[in-house]
């Protein structure tokens, strides 16, 4: 009789335990074998290094429960980087380290960072991304089917070309400059007298090589990793007219499918990878360490650093563009950004 009671007790215990076991098993089964991470640039660009590092840290911090594969070159949207955010919202892409520029056609407020000469230095960029403006933009993105986790950095976009040194707005006149797919960039370079041409980065490199376009604008890290001196880019001007912060994000449905523990692990991985990526993006281009700029000059490139007075001429030439786009972005947001920049430490 005792053995029968023990048997029934054991069965009752199993009935209580099994549902939980099955539920946990089902939860684990809901995880994908692989999560797709989209980036525009792969290694050895700082952007690609950051994406790769995030994938590595996610696997490490989730003990292998979440496996991420990076797809550089906007491969998940056939190379069209401006469609990345839409694909992310739709679930075609699970995760991304995306550019504020490339996502600005869908989220107009992200054009903030492309207002010409809003941010004079890295401290200004940090004041925006790490302050109330950055939080406001993350809150906005959170309403658009994604979960933003951390700010990374592609960097200040500097202009290069194959024809001549650029020191004044007049030097840009007539130059055919490749720009990213944002109408704000068309307006800015048109105001400076250049001939802006929109094309993907994949198309830009052969266009520079053949001389179909004269120049381009990109962070110094891209200039180096893309070997642009070998593509005829012998004149580089550091003017810091706009910057391109990156955003580490996860599709909201994917995020909600993970346990709280794994969500926090992915968030921690994003914060760590982003901090490491920003450090890489800034290495060798500061007043304290200009080793990368010296390396560029050693490749036969004329590197021009604009003085504050020279920069003012470009700022004046693009003021109408700034004012026009401030209305589109939102006057309150722009005012908050200007205040944060003015009060930076």
Mean pLDDT for the stretch of residues 205-210: 96
Q: Can you tell me the mean pLDDT for 155-174?
A: 98
pLDDT value of position 202: 86
Examine the pLDDT at 155 and tell me if it is beyond 90.
yes
Cβ-Cβ contacts under 8 Å for 226 (sequence gap 6 or more): 45, 205, 218
**166-195 residue pLDDT tens:** 999 999 999 999 998 889 999 999 999 999
Per-residue pLDDT, averaged over 141-157, amounts to 97
CATH 3.40.640.10 fits 158-242+286-342, yes or no: no
What is the side-by-side order of every strand in the sheet holding 302-305?
A: 195-198, 176-179, 215-218, 158-161, 235-238, 302-305
What's the pLDDT score for residue 12? 45
pLDDT band at 30 (very low <50, low <70, confident <90, very high): confident
Higher pLDDT: 12 or 117? It is 117
CATH topology for 33-155+245-282 is: D-Maltodextrin-Binding Protein; domain 2 (3.40.190)
Confirm whether 33-155+245-282 and 158-242+286-342 share one CATH topology. Answer: yes
For residue 216, what is the DSSP state? E
Name the more confident of 24 and 175.
Answer: 175
pLDDT band at 29 (very low <50, low <70, confident <90, very high): low
Higher pLDDT, 23 or 147: 147
All residues at 6 or more sequence positions from 292 whose CB lies less than 8 Å from its CB, including other chains: 220, 221, 224, 283, 284, 285
Mean pLDDT confidence for 151-160: 97
CB atoms within 10 A of CB 199: 17
**What letters, b where the CB count within 10 A reaches 16 and e where it falls short, cover 103-121?**
bbbebebbbbbbbbbbbee
Mean residue pLDDT of the chain comes to 92
Band (28; pLDDT cuts 50, 70, 90)? low
What SS3 class is residue 211? coil
| Ranges of each domain in the chain | 33-155+245-282, 158-242+286-342
How much is the pLDDT for 142?
98
Q: What is the pLDDT of residues 221-231, one digit of tens each?
A: 999 999 999 99
Is residue 115 within 8 Å of residue 329, measured between CB atoms?
A: yes
For 257, other C-beta atoms within 10 Å of its C-beta total 15
pLDDT of residue 22: 33
Please name which of 134, 140, 111, 125 lies closest in space to residue 328, comparing C-alpha atoms. Answer: 111
- Tell me the C-alpha to C-alpha distance, in Å, between residue 248 and each of 32, 135, 241, 270, 271: 19, 14, 24, 6, 8
Q: What is the mean pLDDT of residues 323-335?
A: 98
Q: Specify the DSSP element, H or E, that contains 23.
A: helix 2-30
User: 3-class SS at 55?
Assistant: helix
Q: What is the pLDDT of residue 201?
A: 87
């Amino acid at each position: 009789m005792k053995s029968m009671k023990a048997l029934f007790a054991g069965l009752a215990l199993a009935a209580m335990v099994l549902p939980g076991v099955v539920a946990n098993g089902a939860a684990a089964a809901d995880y994908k074998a692989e999560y797709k991470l989209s980036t525009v640039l792969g290694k050895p660009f700082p952007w690609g290094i950051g994406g790769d590092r995030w994938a590595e840290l996610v696997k490490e911090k989730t003990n292998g429960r979440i496996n991420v594969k990076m797809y550089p070159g906007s491969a998940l949207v056939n190379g069209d980087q401006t469609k990345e955010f839409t694909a992310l919202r739709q679930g075609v892409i699970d995760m991304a380290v995306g550019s504020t520029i490339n996502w600005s056609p869908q989220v107009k407020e992200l054009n903030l960072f492309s207002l010409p000469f809003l941010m004079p230095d890295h401290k200004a960029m940090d004041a925006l991304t790490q302050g109330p403006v950055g939080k406001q933009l993350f809150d906005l993105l959170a309403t658009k089917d994604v979960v933003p986790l951390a700010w990374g950095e592609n960097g200040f976009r500097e202009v290069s070309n194959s024809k001549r040194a650029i020191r004044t707005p007049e030097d840009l006149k007539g130059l055919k400059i490749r720009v990213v797919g944002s109408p704000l960039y068309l307006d800015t370079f048109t105001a400076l007298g250049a001939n802006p041409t929109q094309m993907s980065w994949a198309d830009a490199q052969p266009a520079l090589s053949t001389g179909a376009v004269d120049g381009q604008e990109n962070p110094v890290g891209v200039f180096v990793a893309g070997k642009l001196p070998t593509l005829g880019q012998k004149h580089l001007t550091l003017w810091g007219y706009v910057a391109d912060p990156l955003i580490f994000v996860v599709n909201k449905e994917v995020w909600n499918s993970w346990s709280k523990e794994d969500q926090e692990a992915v968030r921690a991985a994003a914060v760590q990878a982003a901090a490491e990526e920003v450090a890489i993006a800034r290495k060798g281009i500061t007043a304290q360490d200009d080793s990368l700029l010296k390396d560029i000059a050693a490749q036969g490139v004329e590197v021009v650093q604009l003085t504050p007075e020279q920069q003012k001429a470009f700022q004046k030439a693009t003021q109408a563009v700034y004012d026009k786009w401030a209305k589109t972005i939102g006057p309150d947001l722009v005012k908050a950004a200007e205040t944060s920049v003015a009060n930076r430490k």
